[in-house]
Amino acid sequence: MKVLKFGGTSVGSAKNIHKVISILESISKSDNCIVVVSAVGGITDKLIDAANKAVEKMSSYKNAYKKIEERHLNIIDGLIDNASKKEFVKEIVLAKLTNLEQLLDGLYLINELSPKTTDKLLSFGEQLSSFIISETIKSKGLDVALKNSQELIVTDNNHTNAAIYIKETETNIQSFFENNNSKITILPGFISKSIDGEYTTLGRGGSDYTAAIVAAALNVEELQIWTDVSGMYTTNPKLVKQAKPIEKLSYQEAVELSHFGAKVLYPPTVQPVLDKNIPIVIKNTMAPKDAGTYISKESTNGTSLAVKGISNIDNIALLTLQGNGMVGIPGFSKRLFETLSNEKINVILITQASSEHSICIGISEKDANAAKVAIDKTFENEISLHKIDPIIVEKDLAIVAIVGDNMRNHQGISGKMFSALGKNNVNIRAIAQGASERNISVVISKKDVKKALNTIHERFFEVRTKQINLFITGIGNVGEKLIDQIQQQQSYLKKNLKIDLRIVGISNSRKMIFNNKGFDLNNWVSEFNYAPKSSIKGFYEKAVEMNLRNSIFVDVTASEAVSNTYAGYLKKNIAVVACNKIACSGDYSNYKHLQELALKYNAPFLYETNVGAGLPIINTLKNLVTSGDKVTSVLAVLSGSLNFVFNNFSDKKNFHDTVKQAQFEGYTEPDPRIDLSGIDVARKILILARENGNVMEIDDVEIEPFLTQANLESNSVDDFYDSLIKDEAHFQKLYASAKANNCQLKYVAEFSKGKAKVGLREIPEGHPFYNLKGKDNIVMFFTERYPEQPLIVKGAGAGADVTASGLFADIIKIASN
């Protein structure tokens, strides 16, 4: 024999009740089943609403009653096809509803709703639903009996939350079922009668309690609780889409998860079956074939995972009682908890420092103000003598807990939890762990709950797949290439590196769009066309508001204003990847500040593309320095743009046309003066000098210009190009000199003995720079370990594809750590 309980959405509509009946029809073929049902979904609230309106002399209570009547009649219409049977059921239901209406009329007249009357009022819901369901089952030709639970369950007179007289109740249940041979027996849940025959109800979770009492009294095979979810989940599936049903739990694990927010079970109501070691199965009415969750005495869940689930409670206030006068003085805890008990305030979490200097407790936020007043009054003498401080109240908090019987057998569980939260800038305000080591609870800001649940779930339950959330600003040539490369590699990264790379924010100087779930990269352009107006501040604020774990801001612009936001991102634990050189080549103090923020907030700041596009130049330098080598000098061609220009310029092709070609093919900035002035190369060698540990500013880099004064003083790009034509003889002279000396023209950056300079050089044949083709870059690191034969990094140093791949490499580097 099995006991099944259906409530909430399971009996919320005719369609769902049909599913219930289908389940019962299937189970009753092999087992007798006792079915406990609650009121039709939402009716309890409607009954209370109607009663309150009646008490408050609002004539609209009649309308509220009519809605209750219509709801039940509509459900009957949807359940029973036979016309005469339907009329019979409606007639009885209307008779019961007439009694309800008379009760509401009485409330309207006497202007009072007592607990005793509340119980009588609420009993209508379960009585009506159980009658309608039993008659519907009977109309299907199934063997069914209806028994009023008020004739079985005996309680005290504590209305709205009555305590059961176990002995009398068990005797009644056993006596009835000894003579009941029906395949299906329907019982209304929640309702009962006192020893004096008064209507009573069983309080919160009352229908579960009814089912558990019956199951324990008859020592049945199992108790099934049917809901709208497929069992107890690893965490809240509304907040964590990767959450999955837990196959098996021990009673203790289920109770812990339920206490900390899992709504499927209310722990006190299932105690009777726990005492009898009767298994509980949580099933989904809407998906009856799903396995659900099996809860029993055994602690195994068919897996080696130490953590079985993650739960949370929102709207928590943290109260701290502290002061030097507490140290070594007994009785403070007793007085604190007595005060809260007298105020009927439930304590959810307790933690105390070993120094005895403070006690922290977590309570419901709604009780915080009353608790503060009561505690301050209790300790007013100690407060006046400055032995302790007035109680400190912190609101807008939440508790997140991990639960598992096997946690005590696994070292490092708490470390993994705290590390995962810390890496995502989730600040822990308090920690509590019981001696059983079955539960580790932390208090965090309420705004961080979703991020925390996703972070912890990813750490303990997902197949080492790490979700990375990208906010990309700047979707010009390089930005679009980056998105294309990410789209191409998404599946590979997920399958081979266990990285779930998602783009959740995209912007340029005009528009911005966001998607919490990540954009479909096949359609992002069409979505972006209809995006709202963007702003640098708005993009930053939205990224912070979304508060996603493992977030990375990717700057694919050359904007100083965008670079000024890096500090804000890093402080919010959002990593920064940039090809924008301004932050790292601007004021040294800002460069250093960003490095310090990255370290302080554990938010990486990577900018490999600042120097060599996709070439690992900065990374190579860092590895040399980290390994203890000392870089003595650097010689480099760092401008793919200038290398392209001087590789294509000759006495047969004028300088103006060569620069135009470089711009057309994407090798220069929209304003080529930035590339040709040498400032861009100066910034790059400055960055390398700083990465080598040198304190330098851009003004410390000597720039030897090869442009004429007219070129440098041009007012616009068009004026600049005009000046190139006028000064062609100057450039041909440079070319002729190099040709006469059998040399190649290269724009070279040098760093040695703490000084840096950039300028055009004639490179002789045989030098590593001589045969540097196209847009290639080359860097030669002379170090104590490489004094004569330098360490050389060489390859394409310009172009949208390679720059995008450099950004991509930095993103993967962060994701892999």
CB atoms within 10 A of CB 508: 17
User: Rounded to the nearest 5°, which phi and psi values hold at 201?
Assistant: -130, 160
Q: How far is CA 222 from the centre of its chain?
A: 36
* Burial track 686-724 (b if 16+ CB lie within 10 A, e otherwise): bbbbbbbebebeeebbeeeebbbeebeebeeeeebbebb
If residue 677 lies in a helix (H) or strand (E), which one and from where to where? none
| Residues whose CB falls within 8 Å of the CB of residue 470, separated by 6 or more in sequence, listed in order | 486, 501, 502, 503, 504, 505, 551, 552, 554, 811
Give the C-alpha separation, 124 to 38, whole Å. Answer: 11
Q: Which amino acid is at 773?
A: K
The answer to whether 334 and 431 have CB atoms below 8 angstroms apart is no
CB atoms within 10 A of CB 402: 29
| Residues whose CB falls within 8 Å of the CB of residue 138, separated by 6 or more in sequence, listed in order | 144
**Given phi > 0 = left and psi -120 to 50 = alpha, else beta, which region is 225?**
beta
| Residues whose CB falls within 8 Å of the CB of residue 380, separated by 6 or more in sequence, listed in order | none
The answer to whether 710 and 722 have CB atoms below 8 angstroms apart is no
Shortest CA distance to 779 belongs to which of 643, 606, 626? Answer: 643
Give the C-alpha separation, 597 to 265, whole Å. Answer: 45
Give the C-alpha separation, 160 to 139, whole Å. Answer: 34
The answer to whether 276 and 216 have CB atoms below 8 angstroms apart is yes
Tokens of 732: 């041909």
Could you give the angle at which helices 43-55 and 83-110 cross, rounded to 10 degrees? 40
If residue 94 lies in a helix (H) or strand (E), which one and from where to where? helix 83-110
Give the C-alpha separation, 73 to 92, whole Å. Answer: 11
Could you give the angle at which helices 655-664 and 640-648 cross, rounded to 10 degrees? 140
Give the C-alpha separation, 570 to 575, whole Å. Answer: 6
- Residue ranges of alpha helices (H) inside 318-367 are 332-342
Active-site residues: which are they? Answer: 684
